[in-house]
A and B are shown apart, each in its own frame.
Chain A
Amino acid sequence: DQQVKQNSPSLSVQEGRISILNCDYTNSMFDYFLWYKKYPAEGPTFLISISSIKDKNEDGRFTVFLNKSAKHLSLHIVPSQPGDSAVYFCAASALYRGSQGNLIFGKGTKLSVKP
C-alpha cells in the first residue's frame, strides 16, 4: 500500500511558466516532507523540505506548500527552466516512538520544460 503518491507520472511545461508538482500521502503520522530531483543514472539530490508545523517554505524559484487537512503537498517552480527537466520525487517521514524517520518516497513525476 503506497503511503506517498504522485499520481502524475509526467508533466510538460513551457519555459518561463510555472511548474506544479503534486503529492498526496495517507499516513497522518508523517511530519516532515521533502522534494528531490533526479537525473537519469544519478542519485537524487535534495531540493527543499517542509515541517508539518509550516504550510509554506520557499527557496529561490522553489516553493513547497503543505495542506495537512488534505494530506497534500505541492512543489512550485517559478519560472521553469529547461535545466529543471528531471524526475521529481516527493518523500515523507515520521518521527515517533519506534520510528527511525526513514524517508518514504513516491513514484516520481517526470518534468519536461520546453524552450
Chain B
Amino acid sequence: SQTIHQWPATLVQPVGSPLSLECTVEGTSNPNLYWYRQAAGRGLQLLFYSVGIGQISSEVPQNLSASRPQDRQFILSSKKLLLSDSGFYLCAWNRGGNTEAFFGQGTRLTVV
C-alpha cells in the first residue's frame, strides 16, 4: 500500500531563517506531488506541483520554492521566512489525471 510521510509535524522558526520541509511517498512510482498551505480561515491553497523529477510548477508567487530531487521526494524551502509564511503545510500525491489525492499529516509552521 502507498504511504506518504511528511516532517516535521510542528516547527517554530524566527523571521529571516531558512526553511526545509520534506515529504516522501512509498509504494508507488512516478506520482504527481503537491504542496498545499492552509492559512487561518482559508481553504487549501495549492503552492507547487510536480509531475516528475526536477519538474516544478508554481501556482502562486511567493517566498517559497520547491524541489524534487528524487521520484518520491518533494521538498519545500525558503531562504528567508516571513511572518506571513506561517500556516499548515500539506504534502499530497496522486496518480495524475482526475484521481483523488492522498495527504500527509501536515506541518504546522509558526514564524515568530
Please report A residues at the B interface, Cβ cutoff 8 Å.
Answer: 4, 6, 31-32, 34, 36, 41-46, 49, 51, 89, 91, 93, 95, 100-108
Contacts and interface: CB of A to CB of B under 8 A. Distances in A.
A21 B34 CA distance: 26
A101 B96 contact: yes
Given A31-B98, A46-B101, A100 B46 contact: no
Interface of B: 6, 32, 34, 36, 41-46, 49, 51, 57, 59, 88, 90, 92, 94, 96-106, 108
Q: Which 10 A-B pairs give the minimum distances between C-beta atoms?
A: A43-B103, A32-B98, A107-B43, A105-B44, A46-B100, A105-B43, A95-B98, A101-B97, A43-B106, A44-B103
A102 B49 contact: yes
Contacts of B100: 34, 46, 49
Given A31-B98, A93-B98, A100 B43 contact: no
